[in-house]
Structure 1
Amino acid sequence: MAGRTKRLWTDEEKRRICVQTSPPGVSVAQVARRYSMNANLIFTWLRDPRYAPDASADPDTVRFLPVEILDRPM
């Protein structure tokens, strides 16, 4: 373990890294390798609402379901 130092990530860096995990087809492991870090750390950040990507901010994720109203006799 000689020569290893603990890296400190700013809140903005954590948010930026977490957002990179949100596109379809991108795995947390891929993003972790990009930054030479353990994927478990990113999973920890994703559970924290301060860093998790806000799904409601992306208009492409909003989906409407068709609804059919049937008139039923009482």
Structure 2
Amino acid sequence: MARRTKRLWTDEEKRSICFQTAAPGVSVAQVARRYAVNANLIFKWLRDPRYAPDPALVLAPSEEARFLPVEIVAETKAPAAEPVAENRIEIDLAGGHRMRISGSYDPEALARLIRGLTA
């Protein structure tokens, strides 16, 4: 019989997992299954103020997630001296994905989106 090793979670991982439980329509059990962790452990983390989701960052019912237009384009090699457009942001995410935002944007919504994509 193989012996199980205890999983050590970093504080940032615990915060991220606890934050996911605060999303509308998401249960602690669903998050626990996603990370193969006992739900009781997540409830324990939620009682700890270091890991509990910040109420200011949790989506209010009126601010539920909504779909944003997304266009998937093939990667092209840009010329070396490409002019940079005003109000344009490029973010390289884990897994080789790149996010490009042009025009005006809500910084808090962008931060929530990035946290959701990297969680």
Class of the TM-score when normalised by the shorter of the 2 chains: 0.7 to 0.9
How far the C-alpha of 1:56 sits from its partner, in A, is 2.5
More helix by share: 1
SS in 1 for 2:17: helix
Q: Distance in 1 between matches of 2:6 and 2:57?
A: 33
What's the RMSD between the two structures over aligned residues? Answer: 2.1
Per the alignment, residue 14 of structure 1 pairs with 14
Greater per-residue strand proportion: 2
User: Structure 1: where are the runs of 5+ without partners?
Assistant: 64-74
Aligned residue in 1 for 2:5: 5
In 2: Cα distance, 1:57 partner to 1:26 partner: 16
Q: Which residue of structure 2 aligns with residue 47 of structure 1?
A: 47
What is the total number of aligned residue pairs between the two structures? 62
Structure 2 runs not aligned, ≥5 long:
63-119
Higher relative contact order (CA 8 A, sep 6+): 1
Q: Displaced runs of 4+ in structure 1, greater than 6 A? A: none
SS in 2 for 1:56: coil
Which residue does the alignment assign to 1:69? none
